[in-house]
Chain A
Amino acid sequence: MREFLFYFFAALTVVPGLFVAISRNPVNAAMNMILSFIGLAALFVMLESYFLAILQVLVYAGAIVVLFLFIIMLIDAERAPKSGWLTSLAAVAALALMVTGLLTLLYSGESGTFAVAGETAPAALSQTFGVELFTRYLLPFQVTGFMLLMAMVGVIVISRKDAAEDKGGEA
């Protein structure tokens, strides 16, 4: 039963993930992304990391993809154009590299331990999660926050500049 559920949810994560990449309709892609996130959350549940699972749904499926949809609808994104031969070539090359990487990792014996379904993951409790985040992983956490801030400021600067130029042109 457990094994069946694992494969089911793993498929629910990976297959929609593929559709996110290849579907031409942006709304389809966003919907598949939600499915994929829900599958991932279910995998977290199987690892008994309920907190992480709920956060996955709450933050990614519940907020981030809503934002994606908002943007898709606001800028009225058209169907993605058919990709040229260069893009296809790049995609094939990337896929080959990924598969090679995965196989090397699997057979070199240096991949370390895999997560085992059924064992309680260390970040199951919200408290453990918070303490680890603010002690051991404080630097990556802060750096991520800083990068997001940079992206945000960048967007504001770029959009402001355009608005100012428009005004200058009219006046």
Chain B
Amino acid sequence: MEWNELLLIVFKALLVLSVVMSLAAYAVLAERKVAAWVQGRVGPNRTQIPLLGGIPIIGTFLTRLGVFQPAADGLKFLFKEEPTPGHVNKFYYLLAPMIAFIPAMTTMTVLPFGQYVNEAGEVQPLVLANLDIGILFILAVSSLGVYGIVLGGWASNSKFPFLGGIRASAQMISYELSLGLSLLPVFLWFGGSLNLFNIVQGQTDLLFGFLPQWTILFQPLSALIFLVALFAETNRLPFDMPESETDLVAGYNTEYGAFKFGLYFVGEYTHIIIGSGVFVALFLGGWNLPWVTLPAGLFGTVLSVLIFVIKMLALVFVFMWVRWTLPRFRYDQVMTLGWRWLLPLAVANLVFYAIIIAVIEQF
């Protein structure tokens, strides 16, 4: 491999990484603003960067919007004192936040976020690595993220984090099954392809000339099950059993502070962003808009990325909206929902679509 080729790959990776990281940082701000909106408050509106905030109208406006808040939060995580409690298992205590962070960052490599038309006139995906089994890669790697939570809870060696860790492991196993099963009908629908780009391209055409072929219109139940399981897998309310502030202090991260807590935090938001991206690619047509054909060339490429990101952010908003609207489930309710409702529903959904697709293929 040529050096400049390698450099280009590294550059692309860094670009995607920095975009996702800043999205995660601003997702935290968005979360606080959405929370404020739901609860009839203003939200963060004081943080100012000296020179920028001093500009007469724009500076005040940006300050009110809280645009500078993520910078302050990030610096706080970096410069805070980092105490390590004396009663922890040091090795795993240090390892756990990294295990939570790295898989969340790794999954973005196979998520296509746009398209371009190459010289030969073929539509190509904008993606770091166009794997044929991309979606399985995402599932596999993101399922490793749970060790960060479980180990963090265990290594903290105190009661509340420990309970959080146990709950995290039980919840992950319960909902991963439904998550995987809800995706199988989608793969069947697109002819057994596990490539995310092919699945997005399969949603380009219109059915009967007017109906957009988005998967969510044909498989609403798969989408619903996937979304619920995604909420559980990302530990978002109403499924945030491992963290559950009201009964577990802060759950698995009670003993963590400063940068280590920051890693957990960024990891969680990255999970939400990538999860939303996967949902958009699988169910909401990716960068396709119904009744609109993307123009070729650079403009079309930029447009496809914009459409994808806007859809993704809309879904991130849904995550926050739900968090500040619904109360938390009780632990036994989480288990009942997972095993007695979602799993049988996912199996029935799979059998139903397997029959339907077999019937369609007969004609």
Instruction: List chain A residues, Cβ under 8 A from B173.
Output: 63, 66-67, 70
Which of A6-14, A50-58, A137-145 is the contact stretch?
A50-58
A54 touches B150 (CB 8 A): no
Chain A residue with the shortest CB-CB distance to B146: A66
Decide: B144 and A54 in contact? CB cutoff 8 A: no
Shortest Cβ distance from B97 into chain A, in angstroms?
A: 15
**B241 interface hit (Cβ, 8 Å):** no
Question: For residue A62, which residues in chain B have a CB less than 8 angstroms away from its CB?
Answer: 139-140, 143-144, 146, 176
Report the contact-size class of chain A (Cβ under 8 Å from the partner): 20 to 34
**Contact of B140 with A58 in the complex, beta carbons under 8 Å:** yes
- The answer to whether B144 and A70 have CB atoms under 8 Å apart is no
* A50, B133: Cβ atoms closer than 8 Å: yes
Instruction: Say yes or no for B317: interface residue by CB 8 A criterion.
Output: no
Measured CB to CB, the closest approach of chain A to B327, in angstroms, equals: 26
B92 surroundings in chain A (CB, below 8 A)? 27, 31
CB distance from B232 to the nearest CB of A (A): 14
In the complex, B137 has a CB within 8 A of chain A: yes
Q: What residue of chain A has the Cβ atom nearest to residue B169's Cβ? A: A70
The answer for the CA separation of A70 and B162 in the assembled complex, in Å, is 11
Is A61 close to B, CB under 8 A? yes
B92 to chain A: closest CB distance in Å?
7
**Which residues in window 142-189 of B have CB below 8 A to A?**
143-144, 146-147, 150-151, 154, 162, 165-166, 169-170, 172-173, 176, 180
1/0 per residue A66-96: CB within 8 Å of B? 1101100110000000000000000000000
Measured in the bound complex, the distance between the Cα atoms of B92 and A69 in whole Å is 14
Most buried by B among A27, A50, A73, A127: A73
Q: Total A-B residue pairs with C-beta atoms closer than 8 Å?
A: 68
Decide yes or no whether B132 CB sits under 8 A from chain A. yes
**Whole-angstrom CA separation of A126 from B136 in the bound complex:** 11
| B: interface residue count bin | 20 to 34
A34 at the binding interface (Cβ < 8 Å): yes
Contact across chains for A73 and B166 when beta carbons are under 8 A apart: yes
A126 touching B172 in the complex, CB below 8 Å, given contacts A27-B154, A54-B137, A57-B140: no
A25-53 interface bits toward B, Cβ cutoff 8 Å, 1 = contact, 0 = none: 00100010010000000000000001100
Judged by a CB distance under 8 angstroms, whether B194 is at the interface is: yes
> 8 Å CB contacts to A: which residues of B125-140?
131-133, 136-137, 139-140
Residues of B within 8 Å of A58, CB to CB, are 136, 139-140, 143, 180
Q: What are the residues of chain A within 8 A of B139 when measuring CB–CB?
A: 58, 62
Inter-chain contacts of B172 with A (CB < 8 A): 66
Taking CB atoms, residues of chain A closer than 8 Å to B192 are 126-127
B170 touches which of A27, A34, A57, A70 (Cβ 8 Å):
A70
Interface string of B323-354 (1 = CB under 8 A from A): 00000000000000000000000000000000
Q: How far is the CB of A12 from chain B (nearest CB, A)?
A: 15
Please state if B143 and A63 are interface contacts (CB–CB under 8 Å). yes
Q: Check A50 against B154 for contact (C-beta < 8 Å).
A: no
With an 8 A cutoff between CB atoms, is B141 at the interface?
yes
Q: Measured between alpha carbons, how far is A126 from B92 in the docked complex, in Å?
A: 36
Given the known interface contacts A51-B133, A67-B173, the answer about A74 and B166 at a Cβ–Cβ threshold of 8 Å is yes
Are B141 and A126 in touch, CB under 8 angstroms?
no
Contacting residues, chain B, for A57 (C-beta < 8 A): 140-141, 143-144
Q: Given the complex of chains A and B, what is the CA–CA distance between A34 and B176 in angstroms? A: 18
C-alpha gap A73/B141 in the complex (Å): 23
Partner of B133, one of A54, A63, A67, A69: A54
* 4 nearest A-B residue pairs (beta carbon): A62-B143, A58-B140, A70-B169, A57-B140
6 A-B pairs whose Cβ atoms sit less than 8 Å apart in the complex: A54-B133, A62-B146, A66-B146, A67-B169, A69-B147, A126-B133
Residues of chain A at the chain B interface (Cβ within 8 Å): 27, 31, 34, 50-51, 54-55, 57-58, 61-63, 66-67, 69-70, 73-74, 126-127
